[in-house]
Amino acid sequence: MKIRSFVVDTSRSPCAKLRPVPVESVHLEDDFWAPRLRTLREVTLPAQYQLLEETGRIFNFRRTALKEKGDFKGLFFNDTDVYKWLEAVAFSLASAFDQRLYDLARQVVADIAAAQDEDGYLDTYFTFNRKKDRWTNLRDMHELYCAGHLLQAAVAFYRATGERNLLEVACRFADLIASIFGPDKRTGTSGHPEIEMALVELYRTTGNKSYLDLAKFFIDKRGMGLIGGREWCGIVLSGTYHIDHKPFRELTEIVGHAVRSLYLNCGVTDLYMETDEQALWDALIRLWRNMTERKMYVTGSVGSRHEEEAFGDDYELPNVRAYSETCATIANVMWNWRMLLVTGDAGFADVMELALYNGALAGISLDGKEYFYVNPLADRGKHRRQRWYECACCPPNIARLLASLPGYFYSTSSEGIWIHLYAKNTARLDIMENSVTIIQRTKYPWNGEVEVILQPEKEASFSLSLRIPGWCREAKVLVNGQALKIHIEPGKYAEIRRLWKSGDRVHLSFSMPIERVICHPYVMENTDRVALRRGPIIYCVEQVDNPDCDVWSLVLPSNSPLEVEWMPNLLNGVTVIRGEASAIVAEHHLYRSVKDVSPKVRPTRLTAIPYYAWANREPGPMTVWIRSAVA
């Protein structure tokens, strides 16, 4: 059987409508994404390897294997950063083989394998004098979380290279865990979800049903009070932090630590695809609606509270104090991808695209060397990306997301081919015993014109489902220059059924005006404010582009015309938004009666840049939400 680098392998999942396309089948070309993947391969991944060495994360594996002497380095879950880096390298190798990265990865795989205990256990923190503490604190010590990331890295590396070394390591560890936990064995579940989706993917890779059963067991045990509350400042907090306050099937509101919550949802969605349990799906839909309708930022980021890195209450979406952890936004992409595979519903693709182009992409600098952990939507110039973190979950996480990106563009089904994302690329897909080459020509996301050229090896009838983005007010679809009488609706897929011949061309035209976005009135911080959106891109105003006033004082009149300008030499090439605005003249008084003063304003110009590109130049104030009478 040919090994393929699927991001999520639903090719045999009975309850998935869509089938994955391998990462290696899609070649992104020089436009928006290809330079970023090249930077990832040439700069980010080698630099992250050096940081893994400098900070002792790889040393911990060599220490465990008795190749090095010294104390354990760093946080007790540091193994996961190595695993995520390795997963990122695997996806990168699938897209474009790089001998240097391959050699580094094989070296790391050898170090990991050498650190495995005789019984299959593998966690470099719980070695030597800490062996006695294994499995004694599932709530806090992340053993199952670390194991999950190992399993995901092993599956990705096997699919990219065909080499089984790390996969065998992962299976031995998973077998050990299955021998300890289960309905007739020890009970418990992980304080940090991750292993659930990893076990399902390991089942999909090996066919060993015990891994699927174990994933179900861990999900079923959540909400039974087995995790318990976490201590914070001497107070035992409720089980909502770990999403342990009620069984998953009874959840009605998305709560708790945002990354934990969304990783759990990923695992449950994977489990549903294999089991068709309606109660799981009903809960997933409730949680998705609660998140997207009440708890998600305009950038697709989630997790508003610094306290516990958690989802807040409904409409609790502060800007300066937004937590919006990069990992949480990545998890939002991962979950919506799985929900899309189940349904073929474009609403999930819309959220995935929003989070990808905005909240997630802001997590890495344009040069690929620095990272955000927290992503505020307004700032006074103090928040800057860092080269690394003591808790470095976000840097290798954004690396693995970007490396796997080609696998998100297309899917297939029993009806035909689905196009989810748009960028200049060439893809080769297998469908209905036919090989089809698809060529996309576009300047998306800066331009809404997309040409899709189909080249099937032999003429064939199948459907081509094209996502009409939810942000698009008007779309046109032509085939070989002729308009079609098909249903076209924003936020849906336009389906074209026909006999396809080599050279057939589909032209998509998405209207891409500048939109003023307003917020729900219960989000008090954004009253009388607008955010600017064009296509999938959310914009912000940054001080360096607006030197004549403090950007926090800007007022955008509702009737002020706005225009776009392509700036090839700015921020690696971006389209900016410009327009006439006003600036409030600052008063020295903190409070004054409205009878004593009328606001003083002066005319100025406004320049807005894509949110993902902020904080790549000199520090200064920034805001996404701008005062405006229209709100």
Kindly list the catalytic residues: 309, 393
CA separation for the pair 279, 215 (Å, rounded): 16
Q: Provide the terminal-to-terminal Cα distance of the chain, rounded to the nearest Å.
A: 57
Structure letter (DSSP) for residue 592: -
Which secondary structure element, helix H or strand E, spans residue 269, and what is its range? helix 258-275
Q: Which residue type sits at 627?
A: R
And the tokens for 603?
A: 């005319």
CA separation for the pair 109, 158 (Å, rounded): 11
Q: CA-based angle 196:202:203, to the nearest 5?
A: 90
Q: CA-based angle 189:192:195, to the nearest 5?
A: 70
In this structure, the strands spanning 434-442 and 449-456 are antiparallel
- Please name which of 42, 12, 49, 7 lies closest in space to residue 25, comparing C-alpha atoms: 7
CA distances from 99 to 52, 64, 103, 107, 400 (A): 19, 27, 6, 12, 18
Residue pair 365/385 in contact by the 8 Å Cβ criterion: yes
- Please name which of 469, 413, 404, 402 lies closest in space to residue 442, comparing C-alpha atoms: 469
CA separation for the pair 366, 379 (Å, rounded): 19
Q: Tell me the helices (H) and strands (E) count for the chain, helix number first.
A: 14, 24
And the tokens for 259?
A: 């990354």
CA separation for the pair 94, 4 (Å, rounded): 9
CA atoms within 13 A on the CB side of 224: 11
Give φ, ψ of 252 to 5 degrees. -120, -15
CA separation for the pair 625, 423 (Å, rounded): 28
Q: Where are the strands (E) in 122-233, listed by range?
A: 231-232
Give φ, ψ of 265 to 5 degrees. -60, -35
